[in-house]
Amino acid sequence: MTQTDLAAVANEAHAWFEGYVETFIELAAKGSTDPAPLLDYFSVPISMTTGTAHTVLASAEALSQGLAHELRALRDADYGGSTALDPVVRGLNERAAEIEVTWARQDRQGREFQRVRVLYLTARTDAGWRTVASVILAG
C-alpha cells in the first residue's frame, strides 16, 4: 500500500476551491441568477444540511434550481461580495478533502450582512473536483 500525500491532496483541493470562490463571488456580485457557471463545482446527487433541514438534490435540474434560489436571495440582499475567512482544507484520502470556511457576505456598500460557517466534503471525480456534500455549521 502506498502512502497518500494528504498535504498534496489538500493543496489541490484548495486551489480548486479558490476557483469556485472566485466564480461564485463574481457571478453573485453581478446580480446574476444563472447558476450555469457554478454547476461543474458540484456533484449530483449532492447532500446539503442546515440546522433546520437536510436535502439531497438528486438531479442537475434540482441543483440548478437550488443554486438559482441562493443567487436570487443574494441579489435581493443587495449582495456586493464575500470574503472566505479562515479556510481549513484537509486531505482525507487520495480522492477526498474537507473544506471548512466562514463566508462573510457584504452588501454593495461594504456592510457585512451575513456570516456563515460551511463544511464542504469534496471528491476528485473522473470529471475533476466536485462538492459532494455541504453542511452549515452551528454558529
The answer to whether 103 and 118 are in contact (CB under 8 A) is yes
Residue 54's closest CA among 63, 46, 43, 62?
Answer: 46
The verdict on pTM exceeding 0.95 is no
Question: Can you name the CATH fold of 6-136?
Answer: Nuclear Transport Factor 2; Chain: A, (3.10.450)
Which triple of cell numbers denotes residue 17? 476551491
The answer to whether 101 and 87 are in contact (CB under 8 A) is yes
The answer to whether 135 and 116 are in contact (CB under 8 A) is no
What string of DSSP letters covers 18-79?
HHHHHHHHHHHHTT----GGGGGGEEEEEEEE-SS-EEEE-SHHHHHHHHHHHHHHHHHTTE
Q: What is the pLDDT along the chain (139 residues), one digit of tens a residue?
A: 357 899 999 999 999 999 999 999 999 999 999 999 999 999 999 999 999 999 999 999 999 999 999 999 999 999 999 999 999 999 999 999 999 999 999 999 999 999 999 999 999 999 999 999 999 999 7
